[in-house]
Amino acid sequence: MESAAEKAGASPGMAPRLSGNALNWVALLVLVVVWGSTFAGISIGVETISPAWLVAGRLVSGAFFLAAWMIVWRLLNPRPRGDARPKISLKAIGWFGLIGIGATMAPFVLYAHAAESVGTAVMAICNGGTPFATVLMAHLFLNDRLSARRLIGVLMGFAGLVVLVLPEFQEGGGASLVGILLAIFGAGLYAVGNIATRVAPQIEPVLSAFMIVAMGGVAALVYAAIMEPLPVGASHASIIAMILLGALPTAFAMFVYVWLIRRAGPVFVSFTTYMSPLWATGLGVLFLGEQLLWSMVGALALILAGVAVANWRRRAKS
């Protein structure tokens, strides 16, 4: 009988061997921690590197990390003769090119431009549309029924996100209409990526992640070369931040993301949109001396309750 890891398209050893729903939650929390910690790296990177080149550098360096990972893994674990696992095909290249360019590089660029006229609070609320769009698309294209329980969970999570960012919004989170539309479009593309990753050919997660990041990186390089001059005077701190962004929230997180979507589904993974800002806020309280507000506690309760409600049946079956 196939293991859960093999059903997810992973070779033995390439995904954790623990079974049960607990592993899904561990992987989700890993994504929350990694993605929720990217804001500091981005803020350091854009000090001396333009957003377009930061996106390109992040994706290209991420592709190099994933390539090195694949080479080392294959040397240590050569494929046996007659291995019937799916391999690269033109269909796979097309699917992962779509995800890499349309649902990875493009949202990065859209959010970078939206940030020029949209406050972080407004951007967070716009990004909160990702789970909504994912739930609807899963219902339409994956035969994943939109139940009242799941919809209530998504609404609770969104309410928690609004509670979290409301103080910042009230202090001057105004935004231009163009910036808001860019952010909303970016959220929609993330949702498309969630669904596409689920239905794309089920080749090994690390190879899938490499193809997504590499093709997104090539497109980002072309875009940056057209739109921005080379960042000649980039500081060492910005360069290091860009490389770390490529290693952790791009390369490593993309592998976990692909693996988890195949295992738990796109709706489950989309809740990182609500939970990552909580982690980022917690880091600010713990390490930057920011004030802990009651609104943060309320947001935490709402978001965690929303995630639990939306996935209650899944948990009960494990």
- Between 278 and 70, where is the model more confident? 70
Longest dimension (CA), the chain: 63
DSSP state for residue 288 in the 8-state scheme: S
3-class SS of residue 316: helix
The per-residue b/e assignment along 226-243, b for 16 or more CB within 10 angstroms, e otherwise, is: eeeeebeebeeebbebbb
Domain locations in the chain?
Answer: 23-76+89-146+175-265
- What confidence tier does 315 reach under pLDDT thresholds 50, 70, 90? very low
Mean pLDDT throughout 49-66? 96
**What would the DSSP string read from start to end of 162-222?**
HHHHHHHHHTT--B-HHHHHHHHHHHHHHHHHHHHHHHS----HHHHHHHHHHHHHHHHHH
Mean pLDDT throughout 78-98? 79
Among the listed ranges 105-109, 158-162, 279-283, which one has the minimum average pLDDT value? 279-283
Query: Percent of the chain beyond pLDDT 70?
Result: 86
- Between 126 and 56, where is the model more confident? 56
Among the listed ranges 39-53, 57-71, 195-209, which one has the minimum average pLDDT value? 39-53
Q: What's the confidence (pLDDT) of residue 117?
A: 79
Q: What's the confidence (pLDDT) of residue 14?
A: 43
